[in-house]
Amino acid sequence: MEQGPGTGSLTTLGEKSCLTPSKHTNVRTRRETRRIVDKLETQHPDADTELHYSTPFELLVATILSAQSTDQRVNMVTPALFKRYPDAAALARATASELEPRIHSTGFFRAKSKALIAMAQALVESHGGEVPADINALVALPGVGRKTANVVLGHALGVPGLPVDRHVLRVANRIGIADSDDPEIVELQLCRAMPEPRWTRTSDTLILHGRRICRPRPLCEQCVVRDDCAYFRLVVSRARDGKAPRKTPRKKPSRGRR
């Protein structure tokens, strides 16, 4: 996948999973972003993926299942699933008719079943049944996008990665440490601001903050970075004062070929 000049390009150095940096407007400085993330980490010291797994393969399967579902629901399904299909070779031999009932409760079970079997077959055929520790190899697998790849890299394979889901998008844009509706641009902006060893923890912290505090209807009174938050300052506090919300103009970065 090629990126235009406004979005950066995929790094070719080693196995790092983030996009290469480029300059963007309307985002906090690196120092400000790190200070804000530091404060958020004090509110969520237990930040980690909530999916249960014991191997990179299990986390890959669980993350694919978590699309349009909840981690809690996936965790109810995976113990029996992993017992029946403990590795890629076992899952590659599965049929849709036997797999679909096992994952039905996670939603979109037909599409997920097809993706899981094809993913396992690709692992067996191209990677000896092992999950590759490389972003480009992972996103080439059926059913695996950048978010899923970054989850597996950062949590199970020890490779820096910063997954961006809907919670990260919402929280980062509200606070002002990112400025885009595009997950890849937000990934770029956050990676540019945070040290590599903190990429995965930063994502986990923003995800938990989005689930617990900065929900679609945010619990601003419980937020430790409320005083730093652009959304609270321009929308919530003004509404409480009877003033019309203010919006910060968002300058769209130029988009090249994707």
C-alpha 172/C-alpha 165 separation (Å) is 11
Say whether 147 is catalytic. Answer: yes
Beta bridge partners, 10, equal 19
Say whether 71 is catalytic. Answer: no
CB 131, CB 157: distance < 8 Å: yes
C-alpha 243/C-alpha 251 separation (Å) is 24
Write out the DSSP string of 61-117.
HHHHHTTTS-HHHHHHHHHHHHHH--SHHHHHT--HHHHHHHHGGGS-HHHHHHHHH
Per annotation, catalytic residue among 147, 179, 204, 228: 147
Per annotation, catalytic residue among 134, 165, 204, 228: 165
Residues carrying an active site annotation: 147, 165
